[in-house]
Chains A and B, each alone.
Chain A
Amino acid sequence: MAWIQTIDVAEAQGELLDTYRTMMARPLPAAYRPPHGGAPGIIRAHSLDPSLMKAVFGASGALHKGPLSSAEYELIAAVTSRMGQCLY
């Protein structure tokens, strides 16, 4: 149970639902789609403010179009996460 309220796709309405639909329509590697079928937790964590969600994931979406390969991207992300001892 997260420490703040989150709203998943199934309960979303209005701007949040539109934002989720836009984000879920983006091409995503299969590894980024959780088996529960809803939005990944890191996206859901931003769900109390759809405009914040758009700002953050707009930036991360741009980051996927940079010059490094996907494998290099994942290596950097994994090392960063590991250095911060982040379970997620």
Chain B
Amino acid sequence: MAAQVLRDPRGLVLPPRERALSGLAALLAEAPWTLEDEDVDRLRAASLSDEEIAHAVAIVGMFSHFTRAADATAIAPDYTSPLPRLEIDMSREPLPRPAPEDWPRRPARLRFDRLLPDIAGGFARWRDYVFTATAALSEQDRATLARAAAFQLCDAGALSEHAHASPSSPREETLAGFAEKLTLTPWRMEQADVEALRSIGLDDRAVLHAIAVVGYQNQASRVRLALG
């Protein structure tokens, strides 16, 4: 199955339950703003409980951070794997985003904190740390990064949380550009993107914090768009 995922994650031949889970992951990873109530109904029809659906959404969110942390730092793959190395299509473009007036605005579907309180609590502590200003990055820097990522994910709720954080200086433009690229095309990250952050005064720890804000927001916006 792992080899199938490498070849064609949308064409997996799986039993209905696993097919529903992999379909949710593909949709949420690539186009989270398109998730409709009917998609959730299909998961329930495939015997998934609301707790299991929320768990699946949270896993996609977590790996939306992990993959970006890996791509933005260029850590070497170090797990043993019998699988062939993934061939990356650098020419692949992200899907076009709808205009802000067409972004989803709907009431919550499922209450993450009620369905999975331990996991939601862990995610809340993660958020609290990522958005705490330190010497590495100011509160405004963090909001600028989060807003830029949320905009590319069509997350109207996060955009209103960070409404004050439109980039208004060359420094903030650089931070926003980094967040946009890491959100849209993580496979194209290169050392020059990290150097751009260094050119505005970020040291390695601050670069890590910038990556952490973008990674967190990629998780949080997907969870919000899926669950409300």
User: Which residues on A are within 8 Å of B, measured CB to CB?
Assistant: 1-6, 31-32, 34-36, 40-42, 44-46, 48-49, 51-52, 55-56, 58-63, 65-68, 72-73, 75-88
Contact A56 B65 (CB under 8 A): yes
Known: A3-B73, A84-B186. A58 touches B126 (CB 8 A): yes
Q: Give the one of B49, B63, B86, B92 with max A CB within 10 A.
A: B63
Q: Which of B6, B59, B72, B73 contacts A63 (CB 8 A)?
A: B59
Give the shortest distance, in Å, between A78 (CB) and chain B (any CB). 5
Contact B9 A5 (CB under 8 A): no
Contact A45 B73 (CB under 8 A): yes
Q: Which of A49, A55, A78 contacts B2 (CB 8 A)?
A: A78
A72 to B126, CA, bound (A): 24
- B39 at the A/B interface (Cβ < 8 Å)? no
Contact A76 B67 (CB under 8 A): no
Tally of contacts, chain A with chain B, CB under 8 A: 192
Contact A88 B5 (CB under 8 A): no
B interface SS class: helix
User: Which residues on B are within 8 Å of A, measured CB to CB?
Assistant: 1-2, 5-6, 9, 12, 18, 21-22, 24-26, 28-30, 49, 51-52, 55-56, 58-60, 62-80, 85-86, 88-89, 92, 116, 118-119, 121-123, 125-126, 128-130, 136, 186-187, 191, 194, 204-205, 207-209, 212
Give the shortest distance, in Å, between A6 (CB) and chain B (any CB). 7
Q: What residues on A are CB-neighbors of B6 within 8 Å?
A: 82
Q: Which of A1, A31, A88 contacts B77 (CB 8 A)?
A: A88
A63 to B136, CA, bound (A): 28
Known: A59-B123, A80-B67, A82-B5. A75 touches B22 (CB 8 A): yes
